[in-house]
Structures are given as C-alpha cells and as structure tokens.
Amino acid sequence: MRNSKINILNIDFENITKNELLLRLRDYISERKKTFVVTANPEIVMYANQDNKYQSIINSADFVIADGIGVVIGSKVLGSPLPERIAGFDLMVELLKLGNENGWSAYFLGSKKDVIEKAVQNIHHSFPSLQIAGWHDGYFNWEASTIPEEIREKKPDLIFVALGLPRQEKWIYENIGGFENGLFMGVGGSFDVLSGTVKRAPIVWQKLNLEWLYRLLKQPSRWKRMLALPLFMVKIFREKLRTKK
Ligand code: UDP
C-alpha cells in the first residue's frame, strides 16, 4: 500500500491523483464533513519554509495538493514520487461541475469587486444548477469583518477564497472552526481567470508543463515572485544531498 502523505520540504502532500481526490471530496461533501484543501505550488512551499505559523496552517489542511510541476519533479528527485500535478484552477472547475450535477451551493470570497462579480456571472452561466450562496470582494477590514457570519448563515457546500498568498489560507484557518460544514479552498488568481480578466496558458503550454513560463512572459512584473521556483529546486537538491549522507 502506498503512503497517504509524502513530505516535501516540510509540507505533507497528499499522495493522490485528481480523480481519486475528486471522489474523496465528493464523499466528504455528501457527508457534510468540513474540509480544508490547499493547492500548494513551490511559492507556497518556500513561503512556508520561512514562516513556521504559515507552515503549520498548511499542514493543518485535510488535503495539500501538488499544484505545480516543480512539486512533482521535486517529489521524484527526493525518491517519493507524487502521481501527478493537480492545478488549483482545474480542481476548482471540477468542483463547480460536481456542484452543478449535485445541486450544491457555493460562496466566493476575494478579488476586486468587478472581477468577482463578473466571475460569479460567468460561473452561473456555465453551471446553472449550482446554487450561488453569495460572494464578496477581497478588500475588507479583516478585524471588523462580518463576512464569516454572513457566509456561515448560508451554509454553503463550497467556499472558494481568493485573497492571495498567505492571506487566503490564514483566513480559512482562522474561520473554519466556526463552520459546521463546507469545503474550503484557497484559489489564488482563479477568479481573475474565470472573470476573463487574466488568460490561462493555452492547453499546449499546460501539457508541456510550461504554464509558469507563459505567466512570466505575460506578467513579467511577477519575475521576483517566480524566483521561488528555481530556489525551490535548489532546496530540493540540497535536501537530497543531505538525506543521502
Ligand atoms: N486579493 C484580494 N485581497 C487582497 C489581496 C489579493 O482579494 O488583499 C486577490 C487579488 O485581487 C487576486 C487574488 O487575490 O484576485 C490573487 O492575488 P495574487 O495574484 O496577488 O496572489 P497569488 O495567489 O498569485 O499569490
């Protein structure tokens, strides 16, 4: 039997394929189990390695998924290969599809007001049987916010949170305790894509695992943040040398 978790640079990744994960999540939602899903790319792993609190937040999730080819390659280098990359965006879309088939409800928190409104419109158009429990932009006063109560009252099955790294996982961690059920997932820039504001890499680039390069070419201002990927690989090789001794 394979191990259910694989530790890569102090993060416990779920050793699972996308299809297996979807089956598990579908069951969890039907059973009204509370679930925290993190889709972790090298940037998240690097951030978590510099911030202990964030690291424990990530490891408190029920499922940490390898979102990024870097994580999958890293797992192979360290000798415990993860089966595949599961892109956060794809996982969100699959959950919306399942929600549409099963009549689940979903709440959307984050991004700029016009972006989230357009994203919700598009989601409603593509998934008409999914119930929209509500939405709110991601620029609110954290301390004085009544958003958690408002979401709680609606009892959504899915709660997607796009507040950027590390805020979205922190928000989920701080608030999930007050909920009885729901699948919580940080979705980064997904509302920007769903609203049509930002384009995802064409499928060929995705298949070649070059989505990161496409993003870099389209948004060169992200180059500093994208240094996380080579730095992550350096850390992986260091870890390999260390554990060989
Ligand atoms: N965002 C937000 N509130 C914030 C910071 C970011 O709603 O205080 C949104 C932002 O508008 C975008 C999403 O979070 O839609 C992802 O932001 P970014 O690309 O900076 O983060 P990443 O997930 O790539 O780290």
Q: What is the pLDDT of residues 25-37, one digit of tens each?
A: 999 999 999 999 9
Ligand 1 centroid vs 153 CA: distance in angstroms?
A: 25
pLDDT at 212: 85
For residue 115, which atom of ligand 1 is closest to its CA? Answer: 15
pLDDT at 63: 98
Return the H-helix or E-strand segment holding 169. Answer: helix 167-175
Is residue 126 pLDDT above 70, yes or no? yes
Residue 137 has pLDDT above 80, yes or no: yes
Does residue 233 carry a pLDDT above 80?
Answer: yes
Dihedral sign from CA coordinates of 137, 139, 140, 143: positive
Which domain range does residue 184 map to? 5-244
* Stated pTM of the model: 0.94
Q: Nearest residue CA, atom 21 of ligand 1?
A: 164
Q: With bands split at pLDDT 50, 70 and 90, how would you rate the model's confidence at 215? A: confident
Asked if residue 114 has pLDDT above 70, the reply is: yes
Which residue, among 229, 196, 202, 225, has the nearest Cα to 214 in the 3D structure?
Answer: 202
Q: How many domains does the chain have?
A: 1
Question: Residue 148: is the preceding peptide bond cis (ω within 30°)?
Answer: no
Residue 32 sits at φ, ψ, to 5 deg, of 55, 40
